[in-house]
Chains A and B, each alone.
Chain A
Amino acid sequence: MPAITLRHTYAGAALEDHLLIDLLVGYLHGTSTPIDVEPVRWCRLIEKAYAHKVAPILYRQLHRLGQPVTSETITAFGAWAERVRRKNLFLSVYLAHTLKSLADENIRAIPFKGAALARLAHGDPALRQFEDLDILVDPAHIHRAKNHMIAAGFALQFLPEHVRDLPLPRDHYHFQFRNQRMQINLELHWKTAWSRRNLHEFRVSFEQLWDSGAEITLAKTTMRTLSLEHTIILLCIDSLKETRVKLGRLLDLAALIQQHPALNWDRLLRHAGEIGARRIVETTLAAVHVLLHTSPPVKIATSSWLLDKLIGDYYLDVSLNQSVLRYFRSNIELRDTFRQKGAYVLRQFYTEEGRDRVAQFFIRSLGKSSQAGGR
């Protein structure tokens, strides 16, 4: 059997983890290394790829490289990949139909994630694992859109009756629907993400998201998805919200970085900073650099203990510890919050009025503490 040179190894990770990453790097960079590492547990490799939502790309790589996978396994895997391709085609056609029907009602809608992201990042909807349709709608039209979907045979799910007709239900960011006849799940969003402290929420109107959106063609239909910048920020935030699936998100990011070299990274990082997500974005991009050998043309710190732990414990799914993960997430959020507050205080010193405001704040604080001390 021919020899393989694994590009990198990570202590504690299984051979299949390394092999999977190696094949994904091969997909991104058009390189291939024959495999001779034994014993490769092919079933385990496929399961890992599925869990990381990169199985269609793994199949493509194994098929293209003609790797020594047992014929029964590769045949069955090929049949599965074909079903994924069909399913994604159906969902793409259905998405195009839904957008047209919403447009007929004068409701502008922005598809994101799912098939739209598959097109934007990989150029082919068949190469991503996704199960539902995500559509962002102008908050002003969200209830018209909701009623339109109900008229089209969808039923609202997972939302208490008493909040369904509230203007924008608090503590929610989307309506989840299921069309039992079509067996399709669809999410209508009025925000791209939910955050308890309103962190990581794009501070732009739907109009601005629409105007800055990227045009794609899906199922022969031209549609507008989120801009590359917003998509990358959203992917980075999502990658830290999930607790299990990671490589798929990183692969999407790597593919976006590769496919769109003219991206304005300074503006992207500035946007990320404005919504308290700069550290999240930088850490996730660093993970993309370390694991998938793909970097944006901006300087990113790639040697932090946090990144190291993230890659070891998080991305490679080695000894997954939920409480530790929660700590990491809150740590990142906290630092972002402090960074935002620090930046706010600094901005106050730019103007005389601001300096007075800060001085008044400290005088009041000192007054309170001296009162407390006097008791």
Chain B
Amino acid sequence: MDFESQYRINEPSVVCENIDGEVVIIHMETGAYYTTTGSGALIWQFIEQSASVRQVAEAVTAEYQGDPMSITFAIAPFIMQLVDQHLIVPLKGAALPQLVVTPRADKPAFIEPKLEVYRDMQNLLMVDPIHEVDNDLGWPEVSQN
């Protein structure tokens, strides 16, 4: 991965929103749904600002406690995953942004970014616990009788 690369959100195919520190992403063409956990929302926020991979790594390192090298090694595959899923696309010739990072005395420990993929929304949309339950085991165990 080129650390000077910049990316942009793959709009209009991708619709996203940061809700309470969790980014909800919908790819309108593939029908896949995603959420980010850990430091994913912060990384997404910097990518939205057209930051380069190096800038993202520096900014995340400033926000979290942890070894800068380990943080960088955790961020790179996450960004590659976003590229592989066509959620972000390369951005050529854009000016580098000035990222605003406020270093805090009580920095939280770094949590690896993760991208959760929900390809089969049917499972999620049909969340249905209604079934005969096993009287001994209780819900949600399905009755074998």
A and B bind: yes
Number of chain B residues close to chain A: CB under 8 A:
29
The A-contacting residues of B in range 11-36, CB under 8 angstroms, are 15-19, 22, 24, 26, 28, 30-31, 33, 35
CB of A47 within 8 A of CB of B133, answer yes
CB of A87 within 8 A of CB of B127, answer yes
CA distance A138 to B139 in the complex (A): 45
The B-contacting residues of A in range 315-341, CB under 8 angstroms, are none
Report A-chain residues with C-beta under 8 Å of the C-beta of B35: 86, 89
CA distance A76 to B134 in the complex (A): 14
Return 25 A-B CB contacts under 8 Å, by A number: A51-B130, A73-B138, A76-B139, A77-B129, A77-B139, A80-B127, A80-B129, A83-B123, A83-B124, A86-B35, A87-B127, A89-B19, A90-B24, A90-B33, A90-B121, A93-B15, A94-B26, A183-B31, A183-B121, A183-B122, A183-B125, A184-B125, A220-B17, A220-B18, A221-B17
CB of B129 within 8 A of CB of A219, answer no
B71 to chain A, nearest CB (A): 27
A72 in the interface (beta carbon within 8 A): yes
The B-contacting residues of A in range 47-88, CB under 8 angstroms, are 47, 50-51, 55, 70, 72-73, 76-77, 80, 83-84, 86-87
Contacts A73-B139, A131-B125, A183-B125 supplied; 12 other A-B pairs, CB < 8 Å = A42-B138, A42-B139, A47-B133, A72-B137, A77-B140, A86-B35, A87-B124, A90-B26, A92-B19, A182-B31, A182-B121, A183-B122
Q: B residues engaging A (CB < 8 A)?
A: 15-19, 22, 24, 26, 28, 30-31, 33, 35, 118, 121-125, 127-130, 133, 137-141
Number of chain A residues close to chain B: CB under 8 A:
33
